[in-house]
Each structure stands twice: as C-alpha cells, then as structure tokens.
Copies of this chain bind each other. A is one copy, B any other.
Amino acid sequence: MAEEFEKILEKFKDTLKANNLKYTKQREAIVSFIYNNKGHFTPEEINDALKEKHKDMKIGIATIYRTLALLEESGMATSISFDAQGKKYEFGLKKHHDHIVCSKCGLIKEFYDETIEQKQNEIAKKLNFILEDHHMKLIGICETCQKKRGKN
C-alpha cells in the first residue's frame, strides 16, 4: 500500500514536470491527504484538515481550489457533486467505483458492478458516443437510518 502511494506521488511529480510546474509542500500535502483519507470532501474540509494537520505550513483555500483543479485536469482526481445545493465533491485517486448515498444522513458507500459497466459501453455505442467516463449515484436509506426511522 505504501508503495502504491509512492507511485501516485511519482506520477504526480511527473505530471508537474511535464507541464513545467513545481512540486510544493502544499501540493504534496493535498495529494497526500486525498490519498490517505479516501473519502469525499469539500474543498473547505480539505483546507481545514490540512490547517489542523500541518500547523507549521501555510495553506489557503485558493491553493486548495487551484490544486484540485490541477489534479482534476491531469486526471488524478475527480469531482462529483452529490447534491445540487450542497456542493459536495469527491476527489479521489482510487480506481473506478460508483456511489450510493443515504438521503437521511449523507453516508456514502462505494461499489463496483461489472454488468453495469458493460451495459454502459453498449449504450454509448448505440448512441454513437465514444465513452470516456461515467458517474452513477444511487440514493436510498442506509441500514442505520432505517432502524431509527421517524427521525430527521
């Protein structure tokens, strides 16, 4: 696992170098945070977490946005808005997966289904699209919220 992160970092450095960009503490911290906290964050959450974690390092929300945009452009992270209002994104370095979100508590779980992936390809072909990517989000009520129903 540790070596996987090394590979990620290498790829990140290569991308930077290839584009005449610089490797900075802040950028490393952001990539590292995203990698090590596989989850779903808003830019602000990342900002707060890094401020907390690296008290010595200066970090600003603008840098988060800029780095996130950079990562997304280079395909190393993806953003998905889970809620039209809430503006919650996912930035992840993981391999492909889809999401199911609890409409009560916001819990997000991930899954992967081969059948669906194949079907998606068929559909794209039928509609004459070259498929590049996809996002799927299921919305439901999670186990916990089913039990304590009546609340929220």
Q: Which residues of A contact B (CB under 8 A)?
A: 79-81, 84, 87, 89, 100, 102-103, 109, 111, 113, 115-116, 119-120, 123-124, 126-143, 146
Contact = CB atoms under 8 A, between A and B. Distances in A.
A84 B81 contact: yes
Contact of A146 (B130, B143, B146): B130
Contacts of A111: 123, 126-127
Contact of A123 (B100, B132, B135): B100
8 contacts: A84-B89, A120-B136, A128-B142, A129-B138, A129-B141, A130-B146, A135-B135, A135-B136
A73 to B, nearest CB: 12
